[in-house]
A and B are shown apart, each in its own frame.
Chain A
Amino acid sequence: MWWRSASFILDKPDKDDAVSSPESRLITSPPLSMADTLQNPNPNNISAYYQTRAAHHGVVTSDWLAQAQAAAEKEEVTSESSLDSGKAFSVIDEFNNWRKQPDLAEAVAAIRALAKVISSSEATTMMELEIELKTASDSLKAWDTTSISLTAGCDLFMRYVTRTSALEYEDFNSAKSRLLERAEKFGEISYKARRIIAMLSQDFIVDGCTILVHGFSRVVLEVLKAAAESRKLFRVFCTEGRPDRTGLRLSNELAKLDVPVKLLLDSAVAYSMDEIDMVFVGADGVVESGGIINMMGTYQIALVAKSMNKPVYVAAESYKFARLYPLDQKDMVPALRPIDFGVPIPSKVEVETSARDYTPPQYLTLLFTDLGVLTPSVVSDELIQLYL
């Protein structure tokens, strides 16, 4: 999978990328709010993944802040206890450190944290190291079960790093250094993935087109940014992305790039679908069937687009490929998040707090990944090749 990465597409403009990317990161990184200092895998099933997303990309409301702070206090207690049981070095701490960078995907953070596990390991045999790595990745996965990319990233890392001849080296140190080398490379590829996807998808954005974007996705932003940089003329419709209003954030970013943007209510998608030429969404996870799991509302947008014969493109890095097979919307680990309605809700009223939905493959047109531009059915091909 990884050696077939379409990273060649980066080969030419590699130089100026290296210069521009730190800059862009500087621009995009928001003022670090206090909410992201310590995230919380809350006992009452609040999804840490979506909390992070909201903190990084959302427009933070006071209500949400208060909740997050309350949660953070609780978290400190729990994390301390876990620290005691562990050794001096904790993967989760490492992971959290990496995760604070808003531009770094969760999976990449996990990969870096795991790489750190290898380098700081005191194991003396390969077996020991492998077991150590395994427990580290398991604890990472258990830390947030709702994050698909975290799980998939850990799995992929284990697969990529350990399922090689590296383990057969005679000398432990050379084997270890080889593992580290692979880990570095893996992290690098994962980091580059977004850039590759942006390059691959340029052919699909043509002058004069109107693109509907849902929520805030770093990949999609990268794609649009690349298109704007190559002086393409296009229009973007952003949905609001309730409840954390990630769409507002995206429209903000696009306005900075001088791209014409229009904000829509989440419920105005069908109304404006007529004007739209393509739908561009990111993904939290790409599942075995070729469908995607993404922020709530993606499914209905895909349904509307399908019924109006508009293409739905998904931009997703390959570390989001997961061996899951949801059959319907409820067939997933629930990822919940608080929703601020602005007014108090009577306790008798139930609130649907699920943060994500599943879009079946028949509603998707193409997936832009760092492995290339894939049809949904190829995803399973890649997964089978990777995991079996």
Chain B
Amino acid sequence: MDPTRRISRVIDPKIRHVGFFAPQSQPGPSESPVMIPLPDITRAIQVPVGDFYHRRSDYDVVRVGSYDPSDSMSSRNGDGEFSEDSGIWKLPMSLPSNGLDKLAARNFPFGAKKSPHDEKGDSPAQMSMKSVLNPSKEKTTKAERRALQEAQRAAKAAGKVSKAERKMSSAAATGKEASVQIGEVVKNSRQKKDVLMASFEKTIGNRPPEKDRKKDVPPSRMQFDDKSRVDKAKKHSVVKQVEARNRVDYFMHLPQYERGTQHPDLETKFFQLNHIHPAVYKVGLQYLAGDITGGNSRCIAMLKAFQKAIEDYSAPLERTVNRDLIAKINSYVSFLIECRPLSVSMGNAIRFLKAHVTKLPPEITVSEAKASISSNIDRFITEKIVLADRTIVKHAVKKIRDGDVLLTYGSSSVVEMILLQAHELGIRFRVVVVDSRPKLEGQALIRRLVRNGVSCTYTHINAISYIMHEITRVFLGAASVLSNGTVYSRVGTASVAMVAHELRVPVMICCEAYKFHERVQLDSICCNELGDPRAITMVPGEVDIQYLDDSVKNNGLQHLNLLYDATPSDYISVIITDYGMIPASSVPVILREYGGEYLFT
């Protein structure tokens, strides 16, 4: 229509958070604060064609759940005008994410603290105000009027946030007058603008999410460099987390907290946390303290805790049983996530449990429901974990021959069972346990193996390329196997697998099928877990060699203690699961045939 509009259209994508980010600094009456819903993608394709019908329908949808005063205000302009404007405002932000958004996100993580030197990152409000102030335009277009109102409303809000907005909306009726006011406001100072931005945030952030839309949205992983969501999550959180001081740059999207503070804090809160069942609470504390580790044992502990919680459950009067139960489980799960991020095995178990609970018939009595859930949890544990392990052992033992030298890394419960079983069968073999700092999990494994009379060698991962020459088989456990065959496991597994592959030693991954996941992961960065950063430099029992502590304090030295890594499928000879021995390329087949429905019934 005119240059201003086009300018804003070009610049908008740069300043908007797209993809993982909620549209925080978005002044238009457009989106729910949750995230970009799925249907928007289709709309983003349709809108540029100039289909007015679509834009209008958008607007209607938005307004239903919208309490933003600006909505009621601007609707006076007449429907036709407004819908066009809103279409333009929201068009860029529903575009698929591009490379820019990440940059924008980093430079401009939160409206209120926006760095003033960031030139690209001008907020839409600023842009619109600039356009208003631009002397070259005499005639006010629809877009300008719209922008004017926006800016004006913001200015008011900045001045007197708490004061009545009724007044403001009446003032908005006269456009020319407002433009003068805004001119003053903008000339004042940069700081004022920032305050302005903050007020935008407030008005938009308060809007409740639209429920029906939320359902369409696939659950996204929490990105911890998305400040607003982190803050929101913090509000509801039970565990008080203090963010680590020197956070590692590349891993800002993962939670990085100070260690050691949460535990005492949570202990004192025990009597305040009424909604968390003590069994769940106990498991949470154990996760936090690191007393329960390993995919299987964590999963079993969680399921047992849920089982206890459900046994003690008493039904509410007005809600149906399964809905209330789901809500309960959700609150437990979010508590556990706060203690430690879920493993894939736990995630799958929770999916199973929830699927079962939702499938309960509505007329079922509480005691029946409890019994059914409890028995199903037991069934899951026996079938998917205990019996699966037994099958894996049965298959794997066949691959061990007399005179073999086996290598294992870290401590995997299944691998331990395999080694002990093979020893019991009288196969003569030797085991090399490779271990790594800081967890040194292999020490516990080697103690148990030696106690059972298995002949063992213990070494650290530094010696892997030396020791690999004498190895005939490598047995590794896994936290999860992803659908492209990538094995997600204890950090260091990838190096072991790589060296073994290089020297043509078969690498066998032992993993129960319930740990398979549809996700595809190409590296270990995008999705991982960070351990205690201090664990890297600390040597237990040696206080006088903590050389690096000073650097952490003074020089901002960042410690990266990754817990997992991704082993590419090329390095893997075979995956041994409860469905037999399969190549890594067949993981999607198992997921297709036995995932989803089969697993969750």
Interface string of A159-197 (1 = CB under 8 A from B): 000000000000000000000000000000000000000
Interface string of B574-600 (1 = CB under 8 A from A): 100001111101100110011000000
Contact of B590 among A325, A327, A384, A387 (CB under 8 A): A384
The answer to the question of A288 belonging to the interface, with a C-beta cut-off of 8 Å to chain B, is: yes
Contact of A328 among B506, B579, B586, B593 (CB under 8 A): B506
A361 and B593 form a contact (CB under 8 A): no
Return chain A residues, CB-CB under 8 Å to B581: 288, 325
The answer to the question of B521 belonging to the interface, with a C-beta cut-off of 8 Å to chain A, is: no
Within the complex, the shortest CB–CB distance from A300 to chain B, in Å, comes to 15
Return chain A residues, CB-CB under 8 Å to B586: 377, 380-381, 384
Contact A361-B589, Cβ < 8 Å, known A327-B473, A327-B573, A327-B574:
no
Quick one: which of A288, A323, A361 has the most chain B CB within 10 A?
A: A288
5 closest Cβ contacts across the A-B interface?
A377-B585, A327-B506, A325-B581, A380-B586, A381-B589
A361 and B583 form a contact (CB under 8 A): yes
Quick one: which of A323, A384, A388 has the most chain B CB within 10 A?
A: A384
A289 and B583 form a contact (CB under 8 A): yes
The answer to the question of A290 belonging to the interface, with a C-beta cut-off of 8 Å to chain B, is: yes
Q: How far is the CA of A199 from the CA of B594 in the complex (A)?
A: 34
Cβ < 8 Å to A, chain B residues 163-210 = none
Find the B residue at minimum CB distance from A328. B506
Return chain B residues, CB-CB under 8 Å to A388: 579-580, 593-594
The answer to the question of B415 belonging to the interface, with a C-beta cut-off of 8 Å to chain A, is: no
Find the B residue at minimum CB distance from A382. B589
B593 and A385 form a contact (CB under 8 A): yes
Within the complex, the shortest CB–CB distance from A200 to chain B, in Å, comes to 22
Interface string of A319-344 (1 = CB under 8 A from B): 00001010110110000000000000
Enumerate 12 A-B pairs (CB-CB under 8 Å) in ascending A order.
Answer: A290-B585, A325-B574, A327-B573, A377-B583, A380-B583, A380-B585, A380-B586, A381-B586, A381-B589, A384-B589, A385-B593, A388-B593
Find the B residue at minimum CB distance from A387. B580
Return chain B residues, CB-CB under 8 Å to A290: 583, 585
Within the complex, the shortest CB–CB distance from B529 to chain A, in Å, comes to 31
Quick one: which of B401, B582, B583, B586 has the most chain A CB within 10 A?
A: B583
Q: How far is the CA of A388 from the CA of B598 in the complex (A)?
A: 13
B593 and A323 form a contact (CB under 8 A): no
Return chain A residues, CB-CB under 8 Å to B401: 330
Q: How far is the CA of A388 from the CA of B513 in the complex (A)?
A: 13
Interface string of A280-313 (1 = CB under 8 A from B): 0000000011100000000000000000000000
Return chain B residues, CB-CB under 8 Å to A330: 401
Within the complex, the shortest CB–CB distance from B513 to chain A, in Å, comes to 11
Q: Is the interface of B mostly helix, strand, loop or mixed?
A: mixed
Find the A residue at minimum CB distance from B594. A388
Find the A residue at minimum CB distance from B580. A323
Contact A288-B399, Cβ < 8 Å, known A327-B508, A327-B573, A384-B593:
no
Cβ < 8 Å to A, chain B residues 543-582 = 573-574, 579-582
Q: How far is the CA of A341 from the CA of B579 in the complex (A)?
A: 45
In addition to A290-B585, A325-B574, A327-B506, 16 A-B residue pairs with Cβ atoms within 8 Å of each other are: A288-B581, A288-B582, A288-B583, A289-B574, A327-B399, A327-B574, A328-B506, A330-B401, A377-B583, A380-B582, A381-B586, A381-B589, A384-B579, A384-B589, A385-B589, A388-B593
Find the B residue at minimum CB distance from A381. B589
Within the complex, the shortest CB–CB distance from B551 to chain A, in Å, comes to 46
Within the complex, the shortest CB–CB distance from A68 to chain B, in Å, comes to 32
Interface string of A353-380 (1 = CB under 8 A from B): 0000000010000000000000001001
Q: How far is the CA of A330 from the CA of B401 in the complex (A)?
A: 10
Find the A residue at minimum CB distance from B485. A377
Within the complex, the shortest CB–CB distance from A388 to chain B, in Å, comes to 6
Within the complex, the shortest CB–CB distance from B468 to chain A, in Å, comes to 15
Return chain B residues, CB-CB under 8 Å to A387: 580
On B, residues with C-beta under 8 Å from A are: 399, 401, 473, 506, 508, 573-574, 579-583, 585-586, 589-590, 593-594
Return chain A residues, CB-CB under 8 Å to B590: 384
Return chain B residues, CB-CB under 8 Å to A381: 586, 589
Return chain B residues, CB-CB under 8 Å to A327: 399, 473, 506, 508, 573-574
Return chain B residues, CB-CB under 8 Å to A288: 580-583
Q: How far is the CA of A377 from the CA of B585 in the complex (A)?
A: 6
Return chain A residues, CB-CB under 8 Å to B582: 288, 380, 384
Within the complex, the shortest CB–CB distance from B418 to chain A, in Å, comes to 14
Contact of B589 among A289, A323, A328, A380 (CB under 8 A): A380
Q: How far is the CA of A361 from the CA of B574 in the complex (A)?
A: 12
Return chain B residues, CB-CB under 8 Å to A289: 573-574, 583
Within the complex, the shortest CB–CB distance from A357 to chain B, in Å, comes to 15
Quick one: which of B508, B589, B593 has the most chain A CB within 10 A?
A: B589
Within the complex, the shortest CB–CB distance from A383 to chain B, in Å, comes to 9
Within the complex, the shortest CB–CB distance from B145 to chain A, in Å, comes to 61
Q: How far is the CA of A380 from the CA of B579 in the complex (A)?
A: 12
Within the complex, the shortest CB–CB distance from A165 to chain B, in Å, comes to 20
Find the A residue at minimum CB distance from B573. A327
Q: How far is the CA of A387 from the CA of B582 in the complex (A)?
A: 13
Return chain A residues, CB-CB under 8 Å to B573: 289, 327
Within the complex, the shortest CB–CB distance from B437 to chain A, in Å, comes to 31
Within the complex, the shortest CB–CB distance from B394 to chain A, in Å, comes to 13
Return chain B residues, CB-CB under 8 Å to A384: 579-580, 582, 586, 589-590, 593
Within the complex, the shortest CB–CB distance from A369 to chain B, in Å, comes to 17
Q: How far is the CA of A33 from the CA of B401 in the complex (A)?
A: 40
Q: How far is the CA of A323 from the CA of B593 in the complex (A)?
A: 17
Within the complex, the shortest CB–CB distance from B75 to chain A, in Å, comes to 57
Q: How far is the CA of A331 from the CA of B590 in the complex (A)?
A: 25
Find the A residue at minimum CB distance from B579. A388
Return chain A residues, CB-CB under 8 Å to B589: 380-381, 384-385
Within the complex, the shortest CB–CB distance from A19 to chain B, in Å, comes to 41
Return chain B residues, CB-CB under 8 Å to A361: 583
Within the complex, the shortest CB–CB distance from B594 to chain A, in Å, comes to 8
Find the A residue at minimum CB distance from B589. A381
Find the B residue at minimum CB distance from A289. B583
Find the B residue at minimum CB distance from A291. B583
Find the A residue at minimum CB distance from B581. A325
Return chain A residues, CB-CB under 8 Å to B580: 288, 323, 325, 384, 387-388
Within the complex, the shortest CB–CB distance from B555 to chain A, in Å, comes to 47
Quick one: which of B573, B586, B590, B594 has the most chain A CB within 10 A?
A: B586
Return chain B residues, CB-CB under 8 Å to A380: 582-583, 585-586, 589
Interface string of A137-159 (1 = CB under 8 A from B): 00000000000000000000000
Within the complex, the shortest CB–CB distance from B599 to chain A, in Å, comes to 14
Return chain A residues, CB-CB under 8 Å to B583: 288-290, 361, 377, 380
Q: How far is the CA of A229 from the CA of B12 in the complex (A)?
A: 68
Return chain B residues, CB-CB under 8 Å to A325: 574, 580-581
Return chain A residues, CB-CB under 8 Å to B585: 290, 377, 380
Q: How far is the CA of A358 from the CA of B583 in the complex (A)?
A: 15
Within the complex, the shortest CB–CB distance from B578 to chain A, in Å, comes to 10
Within the complex, the shortest CB–CB distance from B582 to chain A, in Å, comes to 6
Within the complex, the shortest CB–CB distance from B484 to chain A, in Å, comes to 12
Find the B residue at minimum CB distance from A361. B583
Find the A residue at minimum CB distance from B587. A380
Q: How far is the CA of A328 from the CA of B580 in the complex (A)?
A: 18
Q: How far is the CA of A382 from the CA of B574 in the complex (A)?
A: 17
Return chain A residues, CB-CB under 8 Å to B399: 327, 331
Q: How far is the CA of A331 from the CA of B400 in the complex (A)?
A: 9
